[in-house]
Amino acid sequence: MFYREAGDFSTTYSQDSQTFPIKFDRYRYYVVMAVAFLVVPFLINDYWANAVMLPFLIYAIAAIGLNILTGYCGQVSLGTGGFMAVGAYACYKLMTAMPDVNIFFHVILAGGITAIVGVLFGLPSLRIKGFYLAVATLAAQFFLVWLFNRVPWFYNYSASGQISSPERTVFGIPVTGANTDAWATYLFCLVFCAGSAIIARNLTRGSLGRTWMAIRDMDIAAEIIGVNPLRAKLTAFALSSFFVGVSGALFFSVYLGAVEVGEVFGINKSFLVLFMVIIGGLGSIFGSFAGAAFLVLLPVLLKLVGVDMLGWATDIVAHIQLVVVGLLIVVFLIMEPHGLAQLWRLAKEKLRLWPFPH
Amino acid sequence: MKKRLATIALGAVMAAGPAMADLVMPLLSYRTGPYAANGIPFADGMTDYFTLLNERDGGIGGVPVRVLECETGYNTEKGVECYESTKGEGALVYQPLSTGITYQLIPKGTADGVPIHSMGYGRTSAKNGKVFSHIFNYPANYWDGASIAINHILDVNGGDIKGKKIALVYHNSAYGKEPIRTLEELAKIHGYEFSALPVDHPGQEQKSQWLQIRRERPDYVLMWGWGVMNQVAIQEAANIRFPMENFIGIWWSGSENDVLPVGDGAHGYKALALANPGAAYPIYDDLKTHVYDAGKSAGAGDQTGTVLYNRGMYAALLAAEAVKKAQEIHGEADITPAMMRDGMEALSLSEEDMAALGLPDFGPAFTVTCDNHGGGGLGKVQQWDAKAKTWSVITDWIESDKSVIDQLVAEDSAAYASENNIEERCN
Question: Cβ(B394)–Cβ(B403) under 8 Å?
Answer: no
Average pLDDT of the segment spanning B3-28: 59
The pLDDT of residue B7 is above 50: no
Please report whether residue B427 resides in a domain. no
A167 touches chain B (CB under 8 A): yes
Q: Is the pLDDT of residue A106 over 60?
A: yes
A46·B69 Cβ contact <8 A: no
Chain B contact for A266 (CB, 8 A cutoff): yes
Evaluate the omega torsion of the peptide bond into residue B202 and state whether it is cis, within 30 degrees of 0.
yes
Do the beta carbons of residue A238 and residue A118 sit within 8 Å?
yes
Q: Is A282 a domain residue?
A: no
Q: What is the band of A358 on the pLDDT scale with cuts at 50, 70, 90? A: low
Give B121 to chain A, closest Cα distance, Å. 12
Q: Give yes or no: residues B113 and B248 share one domain.
A: no
DSSP string, A85-152: HHHHHHHHHHHHH-TTS-HHHHHHHHHHHHHHHHHHHHGGGGT--HHHHHHHHHHHHHHHHHHHHH-G
Q: Which residue has the higher pLDDT, B8 or B159?
A: B159
Q: Inspect the interface and report whether the beta carbons of B420 and A300 lie closer than 8 Å.
A: no
pLDDT over 90 (residue A350)? no
* Of B95, B93, B94, B100, the residue nearest B75 (C-alpha): B100
Residues B193 and B235 reside in one and the same domain: yes
* DSSP code at position B193: E
pLDDT tens per residue, range A18-35: 888 888 888 999 999 999
Task: Find the radius of gyration of the CA atoms of chain B.
Answer: 21
A329 lies in a domain? no
Q: Per-residue pLDDT tens for B19-68? A: 468 899 999 999 988 888 899 999 999 999 999 999 999 999 999 999 99
What is the C-alpha to C-alpha distance for residues B343 and B365, in angstroms, rounded to an integer? Answer: 17
Domain presence at residue A309: no
pLDDT of residue B354: 92
Q: pLDDT tens for residues B341-350?
A: 999 999 999 9
What integer best gives the mean pLDDT of chain A?
90
Residue of chain B whose Cα is closest to the Cα of A320: B32
* Residue B139, preceding peptide bond in cis (omega within 30° of 0): yes
Question: Which residue among B32, B198, B299 sits closest to A319, beta carbon to beta carbon?
Answer: B32
Total count of domains within chain B: 2
A215 pLDDT above the threshold of 60: yes
Residues B306 and B339 in one domain: yes
Nearest to B84 among A46, A179, A264 (CB): A46
pLDDT mean over B172-183? 89
Tell me if A68 sits within 8 A of A239, measured CB to CB.
yes
User: What does the pLDDT read at residue B3?
Assistant: 47
- Residues B217, B169: one domain? yes
What pLDDT is attached to residue A21?
82
Q: Domain limits at B347?
A: 2-141+277-377+409-419
Residue pair A282/A70 in contact by the 8 Å Cβ criterion: yes
Would you say residue B307 has pLDDT above 60?
yes
Q: What's the pLDDT score for residue B20?
A: 66
Under 8 Å between Cβ of B156 and B131: no
Burial of B150 (0-12, 13-18, 19+ CB in 10 A): buried
* Closest B-chain CA to A177: B107
Q: What is the mean pLDDT of chain B?
A: 89
Is A174 in contact with A262 (CB distance < 8 Å)?
no
Does A281 map to a domain?
no
Lowest average pLDDT, out of A132-146, A147-161, A239-253, B47-61, goes to A147-161
Measured distance CA(A259)–CA(B100) in Å, rounded: 8
Indicate if B209 and B262 belong to the same structural domain: yes
pLDDT tens, residue by residue, A311-327: 888 888 889 988 988 89
CB pairs under 8 A between A and B: 114
Measured in angstroms, the CA of B241 and the nearest CA of chain A are apart by 30
Gap between the Cα atoms of B214 and B168, Å rounded: 14
**Residue A289 lies inside a defined structural domain of this protein:** no
Task: Determine contact, residues A84/A268, Cβ cutoff 8 Å.
Answer: no
Answer whether residue B424 is part of any domain: no
Position B18 scores a pLDDT of: 41
- How many domains does the structure of chain A reveal? 1
CA B27 to chain centroid, in Å, comes to 13
In this structure, are B239 and B388 located in the same domain?
Answer: yes
B421 pLDDT band, cuts 50/70/90, is confident
Same domain, B190 and B122: no
The burial of B61, by beta-carbon neighbours within 10 Å (0-12 exposed, 13-18 middle, 19 or more buried), is given as: middle
Q: Do residue B248 and residue B392 come from a single domain?
A: yes
Which of B81, B107, B200 lies at the smallest CB-CB distance from A257? Answer: B107
Indicate whether A107 pLDDT > 70.
yes
User: Which chain A residues are closer than 8 Å to B108 by Cβ?
Assistant: 178, 257
Hey, how many other C-beta atoms are within 10 angstroms of the C-beta on B128? 23
DSSP string, B369-424: -SSB-STT-EEEEEEEETTTTEEEE-S--EE--HHHHHHHHHHHHHHHHHHTTPPP
pLDDT of A9 reads: 83
Residues B10 and B118 in one domain: yes
Domain assignment of residue A104, yes or no: yes
Judge if B415 and B344 occupy the same domain.
yes
Q: Tell me, what's the ipTM?
A: 0.86
Claim to verify: residue B317 and residue B389 sit in the same structural domain? no
CA B304 from centroid of its chain's CA atoms:
17
The one-letter amino acid at A76: V
Q: Which domain holds residue A256?
A: 44-266
Which residues 127-166 of A are in CB contact (within 8 Å) with B? Answer: 149, 158-162, 164, 166
Q: Is residue B425 part of a domain?
A: no
Model confidence over B76-114: pLDDT tens digits? Answer: 888 888 998 888 888 999 998 888 899 889 988 999 999
User: Is A5 inside any structural domain?
Assistant: no
A318 → closest Cβ in B71, B172, B178: B71
Question: Is A47:B85 a contact under the CB 8 Å cutoff?
Answer: yes
Q: Do A257 and B108 touch (CB under 8 A)?
A: yes
Q: What is the pLDDT of residue A131?
A: 86
Q: Is A69 helix (H, G, I), strand (E, B) or coil?
A: helix
- The angle, 0 to 180 degrees and rounded to 10, between the axes of the packed helices B402-419 and B180-190 is 140
> Does B10 score more than 50 pLDDT?
no
Residue A322, exposed/middle/buried by CB under 10 A (0-12, 13-18, 19+)? middle
Q: What is the CATH number of the domain that holds B325?
A: 3.40.50.2300
Alpha helices (H) in chain A, listed in sequence order: 13-16, 23-34, 40-43, 46-47, 54-66, 80-97, 103-122, 130-150, 182-205, 207-217, 219-224, 229-250, 261-264, 267-280, 285-303, 314-335, 339-353
* Cα A283 to Cα A270: distance, rounded to the nearest angstrom: 18
The Cα B398–Cα B362 span in angstroms is 14
Write out the DSSP string of B275-303: S--SS-SHHHHHHIIIIITTT--STTS--
Distance from CA of A152 to the nearest CA of B (A): 12
Say whether both B222 and B301 belong to one domain. no
